Structure 1
Amino acid sequence: MRSDVKHFNCEISGGIARISLNRPERKNPLTFDSYAELRDWFRDLHYADDVKVVVFGPNGGNFCSGGDVHDIIGPLVKMNTKELLRFTRMTGDLVKAMINCGKPIIAAVEGVCAGAGAIIAMASDLRIAAPDAKVAFLFNRVGLAGCDMGACAILPRIIGQGRAAELLYLGRSMSATEGLNWGFFNRMVEAGELEGVATELALRISEGPAFANMMTKTMLNQEWSMSLEQAIEAEAQAQAICMQTEDFNRAYEAFVAKQKPVFEGN
């Protein structure tokens, strides 16, 4: 998996990809270029065996301030409907690429996490917060609907319909404590511990069965649109496939030998 990206930071080591936005002086806003490059990178990730988990972290004390006012918002107000739809589909494709990349994503959120930044955290599989994290789906505050990049579909699944409606109608910030209590964040740690805790969690995931983790991520996202009977059948098929992997056999042999299994992802 390539790490020679231009519009965000990326480091790959030991099965973990650590990425962050690279404009800390402006609280890491997104641009047309960074949107597109992130989308393409996550699309390629689906086919990469050398990455088992992604940590999307902050830079300079902030996660992401959303779309850049001058580089994105300014040009958008001059576009026609066709051009605007091309842009909104492109941003939505980033979320779809994250969901379909086959690798667990951990968002380590510090400071500002607004607009599309809040969406990136939302689209991740696990979220860890520093106490100063402030998550704002602020589309309403700039004259837009809260239904952006899948927010009306995904956010209620995480924190509930009423809480999601409040955030999307008001555009207000959700504090780290609120996010923890509402289930948006899995845990809250001191800012100085954020990177270490995220890395520890990523290591634990990377040591697990990568193919089976991919299947878990797939089922978590696909089963929302299934009936219970469909979901149970889909899981039966998914688990039968996982039972044919070498990792399943490795786990059995390690159990018999009273050892810890070493998974290789196949």
Structure 2
Amino acid sequence: MTAFLNYEQQGHVVTLTMCQPERRNPLTGNTAVAEILAACEKIAADSSVRAVILTGEGPAFSSGGDIKTMQQQSFGDVDGMRIRDDYRSGIQRLPLALFNLEVPTIAAINGAAVGAGLDLACMCDLRVASDKAKFAESFVKMGIIPGDGGAWLLPRVIGMARAAELSLTGRMIDAATALQWGLVSQVVPPEELLNAANALASEIAANPPQVTRMTKRLMREGMHQSLASLLELSAAYQALAHQTADHREAVSAFLEKRTPEFKG
């Protein structure tokens, strides 16, 4: 079986490209989960990485679950508990890995992001899209539920009402609607997609990397913690931030009216 993910680093930015375009970059029935998890571990351990771009090769970002694999599960002699365990040990590890990855992630959505493909985009911190991209939380159309965390992720990105509209109808929306709804922050022509994603990644990567990682962690923790708990965590992180060389460099550069040089 061919590799699913291409890992490329330019400077402080890693680009992960899903490269099974002939299958529309599915997340099941292949090594997608294992390869994305391995990439997350590699990125987390590499202090030189300051931003990550996730994109797809070909006409689709990701088609989500592989239909042939679903057919084997649904029509074969597979116990329900086995399916449950497959989800828990398989695709459900993706949202946890990307949620816990402290390096900021940008989904560069080149084409259709459908089902788990849409949820994968929502696992990232930021999303930019080609004007050819389309989006659907289409599980209901296949007679299944969002088994990969979509029911938690999508409402936090676009709000409960919009998420319910997409999830309960299975409707597909275009890039312009995704921009209007706040699902993506930019829509650009296809040939400008990676340039736009790289510009955003470079802007992030220009900041102090340790503080950037802590800021992402705070925002993620804030999604499920109380204000009081988050303030306690913020105080601890701020104590660490004040002691970094990059903080001293930022203050010195501001006072000296020069561009700071952050080393992490």
Deviation at 1:66, TM superposition (A): 1.1
**One-letter code aligned to 1:137:** E
CA shift digits 1:14-41 (9 cap, x unpaired):
1111112111123222234112221232
**Does structure 1 retain, via aligned residues, the 8 Å contact 2:107–2:127?**
yes
Q: Counterparts of 1:49-64 in structure 2 under 5 Å?
A: 49-64=47-62
Correspondence for 1:109: 109
**One-letter code aligned to 2:260:** P
Report the TM-score, using the length of structure 1 for normalisation.
0.92
1:228 aligns with 2:227: yes
RMSD (CA atoms):
1.6
1:199 aligns with 2:198: yes
1:6 aligns with 2:3: yes
**Does structure 1 retain, via aligned residues, the 8 Å contact 2:116–2:150?**
no
In the alignment, the residues of structure 1 paired with residue 241 and residue 148 of structure 2 have an alpha-carbon distance, to the nearest angstrom, of 32
Correspondence for 2:119: 119
Correspondence for 1:186: 185
Correspondence for 2:151: 152
Q: Counterparts of 1:23-38 in structure 2 under 5 Å?
A: 23-30=20-27, 31-38=29-36
CA shift digits 1:83-142 (9 cap, x unpaired):
212221121111110111111110011221111111110010000011121111111111
**Does structure 2 retain, via aligned residues, the 8 Å contact 1:42–1:94?**
no
How many equivalent residue pairs?
A: 259
**Does structure 2 retain, via aligned residues, the 8 Å contact 1:8–1:19?**
yes
**One-letter code aligned to 1:26:** R
**One-letter code aligned to 1:61:** P
**One-letter code aligned to 2:143:** G
**One-letter code aligned to 2:115:** G
**Does structure 2 retain, via aligned residues, the 8 Å contact 1:46–1:100?**
no
Deviation at 1:186, TM superposition (A): 0.8
**Does structure 1 retain, via aligned residues, the 8 Å contact 2:52–2:104?**
yes
Moved segments of 4+, more than 4 Å: none
In the alignment, the residues of structure 2 paired with residue 20 and residue 10 of structure 1 have an alpha-carbon distance, to the nearest angstrom, of 7
Gap change, CA 1:7 and 1:111, over 3 Å in 2: closer
CA shift digits 1:165-217 (9 cap, x unpaired):
11111111122111111111011111111111111111111111111111111
Gaps of 5+ in 1: none
1:96 aligns with 2:73: no
Correspondence for 1:143: 143
Moved more, 11-20 or 27-36: 27-36
**Does structure 1 retain, via aligned residues, the 8 Å contact 2:50–2:103?**
yes
Deviation at 1:6, TM superposition (A): 2.9
Gaps of 5+ in 2: none
Deviation at 1:55, TM superposition (A): 0.5
**Does structure 2 retain, via aligned residues, the 8 Å contact 1:29–1:65?**
yes
In the alignment, the residues of structure 1 paired with residue 20 and residue 4 of structure 2 have an alpha-carbon distance, to the nearest angstrom, of 9
**Does structure 2 retain, via aligned residues, the 8 Å contact 1:43–1:98?**
no
**Does structure 2 retain, via aligned residues, the 8 Å contact 1:95–1:150?**
yes
Correspondence for 1:129: 129
In the alignment, the residues of structure 2 paired with residue 21 and residue 57 of structure 1 have an alpha-carbon distance, to the nearest angstrom, of 6
Identity, in percent, stands at 33
1:57 aligns to what SS in structure 2? strand
Correspondence for 1:169: 168
Report the TM-score, using the length of structure 2 for normalisation.
0.93
CA shift digits 1:239-265 (9 cap, x unpaired):
221111111011112122211111112
**Does structure 2 retain, via aligned residues, the 8 Å contact 1:115–1:136?**
yes
